[in-house]
Amino acid sequence: MNTNINQEALAFLQSTYKLSADQLEKLLVLATNSKNAYSDIYFQVGTEEGISLQQGSIMKPYRNLTGGAGVRSVIGDKTGYSFTDNVNYRNLAKAAKTAGAIVKYGSGTEAIKESSRSASSQLKDLYPVEETLLGVSLAEKINLLRQIDELVRALDERITNVTANIYVSEEIIVIATSLDELVIDRRPMLSLGVTCLAEDGANKQIGRSAGGGRVDFSFVYEDDRWQSFALEAARDAINKLSAKDAPAGEMTVVLGSGWPGILVHEAIGHPLELDFNRKDASVFSKSLDQKVASELCTLVDDGTIADRRGSLNIDDEGTPTQRTVLIEDGILKNYMSDRMNAALVGKSSSGNGRRESYRFAPQPRMTNTFMLPGQSTPEEIISSVKHGLYAFSFADGQVDVASGNFTFAANGARMIRDGKLAEYVNGATLIDNAAKALKNISMVGNDFALDKGIGNCGKGGQSVPVGVGMPTVRINNLTVGGTGK
């Protein structure tokens, strides 16, 4: 192993696990028992801390340490994977032999022969945190949580409970591959969340707000973020107290900017991941270079945005992340790929190989996925709707990749009447088809925003942090589920 070696990565493995470059090479050979095989080793060391306030009391803080390594062998579309929680040469050798044995009789012919780009020579620094998140004192965290509680309770007597939590983590990822690569990434993460309960008699409503990213702790104080999160959660709960039941039927729906991009992520992003399309299992399979959306729609996945929750210097295969235009002016241009699926269709990875931890093999996943802005103002979009729904926040959602059918619960919505925002509504659900919805986009706003840094994405039993975003968008003839008139 003498090409694309990051000396910091090698020094880390030597000091932490007493592994040499020669031993790494032997381990990769053990996992690579065929000329068509590719192998890699994914090392992960992490520390996470959390503390929360509930009912005015500080809950016991926690601190967890994680660490381990996973070995993968790939021949064609067959993957062998084994991991160990106790990293040393002997256990890694067992894992390497196991992974290699699983694919020993694989019949694949498309090998992962080279990386998309030289990982070590193009290493980015997207999240240069100046001070360690783990060094923030417990006293400072407790003080912040108490300030949040005091601020929210003073806003309205109908706020009867406040829950606030702070989570920080720092991970070190090292990836060694049979392509003579050895790279390292140090990944911080911070999140601050606030949940408020508002009560008016028997009517109880919950409001939430949160944010964060790969940033240092000063993030929560800049631009008075902690105050805005706290007040947003409280006002969300209070507004829902007077909300009516959402009506049902087909109508014009306006999606607000920022977090509503989660609908784009789920309903459109997942069907554009290459593993589904390579297997003809997506509604967008075999649709490259075809019109799949309104010409107003341009959709991008970008893992290179500084400080963002979904950003990575390298993906979980060691490939530098990139900006990938998925849909441009309504035309499908690209899918998101990892190394294995890209090799099987004769392409290079787009830097979207991701995994939850060393216990899992990677798969094609999104990073920060969003729709680009258009020309209309939000006011013009709202005023163009005689009767419809304005959805500015979403909760749970799901999509059937094969059909494109999706269901999303709007936990923040208002009616639009005669071009003006009207009453708040509860219980609105969007139930429709992604391919249809894309083509029914009729106006796109100029107010593009990314979410505040709260997204998590689930796929194949794995969860990874992601980012979403969009401008205000008008979609004609969407089906809305609700219990009101």
Q: What angle do CA 446, 452, 455 make, to 5 degrees?
A: 110
The whole-angstrom separation of Cα 94 and Cα 353 is 25
CA distances from 137 to 61, 140, 317, 478 (A): 12, 5, 34, 49
Q: How confident is the model at residue 2 (pLDDT cuts 50, 70, 90)?
A: very low
Say how many C-beta atoms besides its own lie within 10 A of residue 86's C-beta. Answer: 10
Buried b (16+ CB within 10 A) or exposed e, 35-73: ebbbbbbbbbbbbbbbbbbeeeebeeeeeeeebbbbbbb
Beta strand 473-481 with 441-444: parallel, antiparallel or unpaired? antiparallel
Measured over the CA atoms of residue 266, residue 314, residue 10 and residue 171, the dihedral's sign is: negative
Tens digit of pLDDT for each residue in 221-258? 999 999 999 999 999 999 999 999 999 999 999 999 99
What global pTM score does this model have? 0.95
Q: How confident is the model at residue 3 (pLDDT cuts 50, 70, 90)?
A: low
Domain 133-170+189-243 belongs to what topology?
PmbA/TldD fold (3.30.2290)
CA distances from 6 to 3, 123, 160, 183, 319 (A): 9, 10, 53, 5, 14
> What pLDDT is recorded for position 130?
77
Percent of the chain with pLDDT over 90: 89
Averaged pLDDT for residues 90-118: 78
The whole-angstrom separation of Cα 356 and Cα 319 is 16
Tens digit of pLDDT for each residue in 108-148? 656 677 654 444 445 789 998 878 899 999 999 999 999 99
Given a cut of 90, whether residue 182 has pLDDT beyond it is yes
- Tell me the backbone φ, ψ of residue 24, rounded to 5 degrees: -60, -45
Q: What is the mean pLDDT of the chain?
A: 93
> What pLDDT is recorded for position 4?
67
Q: How confident is the model at residue 397 (pLDDT cuts 50, 70, 90)?
A: confident
In the structure encoding, which two tokens stand for residue 66, read together?
A: 């994680």
> What pLDDT is recorded for position 395?
84
Tens digit of pLDDT for each residue in 31-76? 987 666 899 999 999 999 999 999 999 999 999 999 999 999 999 8
Q: Where are the beta strands (DSSP E) in 201-321?
A: 203-213, 244-245, 249-255, 299-302
> What pLDDT is recorded for position 122?
56
CA distances from 485 to 265, 401, 426 (A): 30, 32, 12
The full set of domain ranges for the chain reads 133-170+189-243, 249-481
Region for 83 from its dihedrals, namely left if φ exceeds 0, alpha if ψ lies in -120 to 50, beta otherwise: beta
Name the 3-class secondary structure at 231: helix
